[in-house]
């Protein structure tokens, strides 16, 4: 089955700096890669996703990149703000029955 590894497990950045979270996946059949943000005490929420036919996608201050050959994908947050503090999860899906396998999460702390 699919295995998703996520690094780092914790990340502290100064407000205004950029943050990068990296993930790798094992199953070359995976073709959909969502990212979730989970604030303390709340449910995970989808913030951005990318499909395997696209190399990069941006939405305001967040962007995702995908390298299919290396089986790497990353989340980039620019101009970080305190409200970006949360746990972020990457995930990979085979797109068949949309079975989604998650990484172990990155706790991002943005220091004002």
List interacting residues with another protein (CB under 8 A).
1, 6, 9, 34, 43-46, 49, 89, 97-105
To another protein, the closest distance from the beta carbon of 44 in angstroms equals 5
Task: State which residue, 70 or 97, has the beta carbon closest to another protein.
Answer: 97
To another protein, the closest distance from the beta carbon of 102 in angstroms equals 4
Task: State which residue, 101 or 109, has the beta carbon closest to another protein.
Answer: 101
Token digits for 85? 């503090």
To another protein, the closest distance from the beta carbon of 88 in angstroms equals 11
**Distant-in-sequence, close-in-space partners of 59: CB < 8 Å, separation ≥ 6:** 47, 48
Task: State which residue, 42 or 112, has the beta carbon closest to another protein.
Answer: 42
Task: State which residue, 78 or 101, has the beta carbon closest to another protein.
Answer: 101
Distance CA 85, CA 19 (A): 11
Apex 6 CA angle, 5 and 11, nearest 5: 160
To another protein, the closest distance from the beta carbon of 6 in angstroms equals 8
Distance CA 10, CA 108 (A): 6
Distance CA 50, CA 3 (A): 18
Token digits for 16? 């205004």
């Amino acid at each position: 089955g699919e295995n998703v590894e996520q690094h780092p497990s914790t990340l502290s950045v100064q407000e205004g700096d950029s943050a990068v979270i990296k993930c790798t996946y094992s199953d070359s059949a995976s073709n959909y890669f969502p990212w979730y943000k989970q604030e303390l005490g709340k449910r995970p929420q989808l913030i951005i996703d990318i499909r395997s036919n696209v190399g990069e996608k941006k939405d305001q201050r967040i962007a995702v990149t995908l390298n299919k050959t290396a089986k790497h994908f990353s989340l980039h947050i620019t101009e970080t703000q305190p409200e970006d503090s949360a746990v972020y999860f990457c995930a990979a899906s085979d797109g068949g029955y949309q079975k989604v396998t998650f990484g172990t999460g990155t706790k991002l702390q943005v220091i004002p």
